[in-house]
Amino acid sequence: MKHKEYNPAEIEPKWQEIWEKKGIFKASDDTGKPKYYALIEFPYPSGDGIHVGHPRSYTALDIIARKRRMEGYNVLYPIGWDAFGLPTENFAIKNKIHPRIVTAKNVARFKSQLKSLGFSFDWSREVNTTDPSYYKWTQWIFLKMFEKGLAYKAEMPINWCTSCKVGLANEEVVNGVCERCGGEVIRKVKSQWMLKITEYAEKLLNDLEIVDYIEKVKIQQKNWIGRSEGAEVSFEIDGTDKKLVVYTTRPDTLFGATYMVISPEHPLIDEMKDRIENWSDVVEYRMLAMKKSDFERTEINKEKTGVPLKGIMAVNPVNGKKIPVWTSDYVLMSYGTGAIMAVPGHDTRDWEFAKKFGLDIIEVVAGGDIEKEAFTDIETGVMVNSGFLNGLSVEEAKEKIIQWLEEKGLGRRKVNYKLRDWVFSRQRYWGEPIPLIHCEKCGWVPVPYDQLPVTLPEVENYMPTDTGESPLANITEWVETECPKCGGRGRRETDTMPQWAGSSWYFLRYIDPHNDNEFAAIDKLKYWLPVDWYNGGMEHTTLHLLYSRFWHKFLYDCGYVPTPEPYQKRTSHGMILGENNEKMSKSRGNVINPDDVVAEFGADAFRVYEMFQGAFDQPIPWSQQGLRGCRRFLDRVWKLQEILVPGEGYSEKLDNIMHKTIKKVSEDFEKMKFNTAVAALMSLLNEFYAAGAVTRGEFATFLVLLNPVAPHITEELWQICGYEGMLHEQKWPAWDETKVIDDEIEIAVQINGKVKDVVRLSREATKEEAKAAVEASETISKLLAGKTIVKEIYVPGRIYNIVVR
RNA sequence: GCGGACGUGGCGGAAUUGGCAGACGCGCCAGAUUUAGGAUCUGGUGGCGACCCCGUGCAGGUUCAAGUCCUGUCGUCCGCACCA
């Protein structure tokens, strides 16, 4: 019988249309079924169209989503657009097109590209962060935070990108340059809206215990939050009533503090102006430090610099010793109290500084050689030269000194975090307007909830201003408004929100995307939350994940969402590199366009390829040959029609491998071992051809197993071969554990650990039976001639090893 | 510097609790088919002409048995980076 050729260009659009028409991937809010919420990071619709990296994540969770549906779940697998952001705005400026139009165009392109790949997204729940009906709720959440005191305005030295002319969060500065454009970043003081994420540091850290994130992600979150335990200690400034408070994780070394260092920005410098004898030196140093970019300032291996505050001495509270106070930019104003007690004997940085400037080094923990280097070991050291702490271990000394400090009122136990508050202002046009109005009488007043959203005004020019103000600042008729509280003159905030805002809660909006009265109805949230499985890139594990957890926890505390954590499970995919093993980029000329791949090989081959090529969490280089191989596999699947024979069950010969494959594929999908799952299906296919026939029952199971990876071809074959109903409605196959186990297996026979022969044995063969089988082997008996058997080891089902001398 | 991951054929990569290293795919070789190329099909494919033997970055160790465990060492990648 002659069959039609496999033609993905024909069958793929056909099935995409059928799925869409029937609405089969629409999640219902029918709470009778168990729910499953699968989530991928919604894309930023850039002008370049989708990248081959996008489908890696989307296919993976599409596999999970499709499998779950066949397992009887009500699945939510949504998609949307994280569409605010700089690249669109920059493109708009350059080409004089409104960013809204650019966005719409990019979204349309992305949408058609994603649709061509056959993902089972519920398109009816599509969201777009730039849609006023969406950002109305982004603003609403912001106002709730403002109400609770979590949003505040502060004069902050911020990271200023000299090229984008925009303030950046610490996280957007990579190696001292702008994450987006690579431009130089300097420090600039601006009044900025801040979000108090630090208030949630403890919860964000502790609740990592109750979620199922891959370990790597948890570790990165923990490091970013950076919790440390220690103490705050007050030092008196000699001859004044002023105190200098420091934070230290090593209060045990207090006797070894020989000088103090304060950050150049520390307010004490100005307070002590009259007493500082070398004021001009200090001012000069401070100016120099402020001019430095963060990059220069934090560059490692840099010679330490600093100047003493002459005339200022601090008093060590444990022994009354007077010690000098210096200022140096290795002490950061933004961490702890902006001041440290320097213990050069036991801190590497302090040691370097002391060596350079000839300051005293005292050993207070014995065990190292402080002439050569700081001794920082806290496990083995014993306290010396430390009065009442002498002889204690570091751990004991910490406890004792903290108690002593607290009793004397000189200090207290303190926990600190590296996590900083979130700079939430951007001086840009293409973002959510911050919905606040400044009134001279009333201060900052929120725009009333019933007036949300505060929409972006139409403007002629959305170029950033040279002063660094948002382009919105130039639109007088928009800026000038009434104070909602007193009716007097008010001015709108002209800063907009960062791109992270809209993505901090989008997974909630998917649950109830068309709700005009609330961001999502609580009963729906109760049904769908938490997200069961969230997959995304490692590049978002610190920022986006932390921010969205923070927003979610805030909403939880307010009673608006039912779970303390948004995502139950988080996994990450590896990057897809260019064929030359480098990151894909236009400048490297190694970009693969998914459209070309679909046109030449089909979406199914593309999907199979991306799942098969390597381990899901590892980076993989692109390989056109590998892709060709996956297409060949599908061609061979297609041609199975030619050897299809009647029989609803499995043939005796293949029964065992059928059950094995069902088990392997089912389990591998869950573990995201897609490459070995596909390999198992390829092996099964080879078995079909080796057998020369495949029964209808075997083929049906094969198609179901392959369906989540290659949905179009399998659905088409299901139809062509006249199976009942549609493939996606079928049940996920079950395997029979007793049939997975082989009754008779091959056991390797080793001599001194080296395989010499193989014998066929029952899985449960006794040692005697095994021995008999082994002795029957000619190869073995030949090799054993003249040797003395020392020992024989038999592990049923595994190995038979003969040790000889 | 700190934290994490990794190192296996010509290539991408497989290998439950330590138990036949190299599944699956690519590439390559031979054959079939074809006017030819491509495509397809069949067989082969870690090294060595063959046996022996040697083989999971390198050097040791534990074990009847090590890619897997332990010690040391080299290299690559990722994250953080003066956080007191």
Strand B nucleotides, any atom under 7 Å to a protein CB: 1, 3-5, 11-15, 17, 19-21, 23-27, 39-43, 53, 64-66, 77-84
What would the pLDDT profile of A372-425 be if each residue is shown by its tens digit? Answer: 888 888 888 899 999 999 999 999 999 999 999 999 999 999 999 999 999 898
Question: Average pLDDT, stretch A343-352?
Answer: 92
Question: Average pLDDT, stretch A607-617?
Answer: 94
Cβ neighbours around A407 below 10 Å, total: 8
Q: What pLDDT score does A1 carry? A: 47
- The type of residue at A412 is R
Q: Is the pLDDT of residue A660 over 80?
A: yes
What would the pLDDT profile of A765-775 be if each residue is shown by its tens digit? Answer: 888 888 888 88
Q: Is the pLDDT of residue A566 over 70?
A: yes
Distance of C1' in B45 from CA in A633, Å = 20
Distance of C1' in B49 from CA in A676, Å = 37
Q: Is the pLDDT of residue A545 over 70?
A: yes
The DSSP annotation for A335-348 comes to STTSEEEE-TTT-H
Distance of C1' in B32 from CA in A686, Å = 20
Q: Is the pLDDT of residue A3 over 70?
A: no
Asked if the Cβ of residue A230 lies within 7 A of any atom of strand B, the reply is: yes
Residues in A 324-353 whose C-beta is less than 7 A from nucleic strand B are: 329-332, 335-336, 338, 340, 347, 349
Question: Distance (Å, rounded) from C-alpha A679 to C-alpha A661?
Answer: 10
- List, in sequence order, the alpha helices (H) in A8-85: 8-22, 54-70
Q: Is the pLDDT of residue A154 over 70?
A: yes
Residues in A 6-45 whose C-beta is less than 7 A from nucleic strand B are: none
Question: Distance (Å, rounded) from C-alpha A2 to C-alpha A5?
Answer: 9
Distance of C1' in B17 from CA in A798, Å = 12
What would the pLDDT profile of A215-231 be if each residue is shown by its tens digit? Answer: 889 989 999 999 999 99
Give the DSSP letter of residue A30. Answer: -
- Paired residues of A586 in beta bridges: none
Q: What pLDDT score does A418 carry? A: 92
A665 within 8 A of A672, measured Cβ to Cβ: no
Asked if the Cβ of residue A676 lies within 7 A of any atom of strand B, the reply is: yes
Give the DSSP letter of residue A53. Answer: T
Distance of C1' in B33 from CA in A1, Å = 20
What would the pLDDT profile of A439-481 be if each residue is shown by its tens digit? Answer: 999 999 999 999 989 999 987 777 767 677 788 888 889 999 9
Question: Which of A330, A339, A342, A336 has the alpha carbon at shortest distance from A292?
Answer: A330
What would the pLDDT profile of A270-327 be if each residue is shown by its tens digit? Answer: 999 999 999 999 999 998 887 776 666 666 557 888 999 999 999 999 999 999 999 9
Asked if the Cβ of residue A319 lies within 7 A of any atom of strand B, the reply is: no
Distance of C1' in B38 from CA in A652, Å = 39
Q: Is the pLDDT of residue A187 over 80?
A: no
Nearest residue: Cα versus C1' of B15: A676
Residues in A 542-601 whose C-beta is less than 7 A from nucleic strand B are: 542
Asked if the Cβ of residue A59 lies within 7 A of any atom of strand B, the reply is: no
Distance of C1' in B58 from CA in A571, Å = 34
- List, in sequence order, the alpha helices (H) in A409-510: 476-479, 506-509
Nearest residue: Cα versus C1' of B26: A626
In percent, the amount of chain A with pLDDT more than 90 equals 70
The alpha carbon of residue A545 and the mean position of all alpha carbons in its chain are separated, in whole angstroms, by 6
Question: Distance (Å, rounded) from C-alpha A622 to C-alpha A576?
Answer: 7
A577 within 8 A of A619, measured Cβ to Cβ: yes
In percent, the amount of chain A with pLDDT more than 70 equals 96
Name the residue with higher pLDDT: A603 or A798: A603
Cβ neighbours around A571 below 10 Å, total: 20
Distance of C1' in B43 from CA in A689, Å = 15
Strand order across the beta sheet in which A166-168 lies: A166-168, A151-161, A185-195, A422-423
What would the pLDDT profile of A55-66 be if each residue is shown by its tens digit? Answer: 999 999 999 999
Question: Distance (Å, rounded) from C-alpha A338 to C-alpha A354?
Answer: 19
Q: What pLDDT score does A770 carry? A: 86
Asked if the Cβ of residue A626 lies within 7 A of any atom of strand B, the reply is: yes
Which residue segments constitute the domains of chain A, with CATH numbers given?
227-417 (3.90.740.10), 594-739 (1.10.730.10), 742-804 (3.10.20.590)
Q: Which residues touch A209 (CB under 8 Å, ≥6 apart)? A: none
Choice among A200-214, A724-738, A740-754 with the minimum mean pLDDT? A740-754
- Paired residues of A747 in beta bridges: A759
Q: What pLDDT score does A60 carry? A: 96
Q: What pLDDT score does A777 carry? A: 80
Question: Distance (Å, rounded) from C-alpha A548 to C-alpha A321?
Answer: 49
Q: What pLDDT score does A180 carry? A: 67
- Give the nucleotide at minimum CA-to-C1' distance from A798: B19
What would the pLDDT profile of A668-727 be if each residue is shown by its tens digit? Answer: 999 999 999 999 999 999 999 999 999 999 999 999 999 999 999 999 999 999 999 999
User: Residue A336 region, left (φ>0) first, then alpha (ψ -120 to 50), else beta?
Assistant: left
A91 within 8 A of A464, measured Cβ to Cβ: no
Asked if the Cβ of residue A682 lies within 7 A of any atom of strand B, the reply is: yes
**A774: enclosing H helix or E strand:** helix A767-775
Helix (H, G, I), strand (E, B) or coil at A682: helix
Average pLDDT value for chain A = 91
The DSSP annotation for A370-412 comes to TTTS-----SS-EE-S-GGGTT-BHHHHHHHHHHHHHHHTSEE
> In this structure, are strands A185-195 and A422-423 parallel, antiparallel, or unpaired?
antiparallel
Q: What pLDDT score does A378 carry? A: 84
Provide the token pair at A543.
Answer: 């920022």
**Complex ipTM value:** 0.94
Angle formed at CA A240 by CA A238 and CA A241, multiple of 5 degrees: 115
Q: Is the pLDDT of residue A617 over 70?
A: yes
CA atoms A130, A132, A133, A134: torsion sign: positive
Nearest residue: Cα versus C1' of B82: A330
- Paired residues of A496 in beta bridges: A426, A433
- Paired residues of A583 in beta bridges: A577
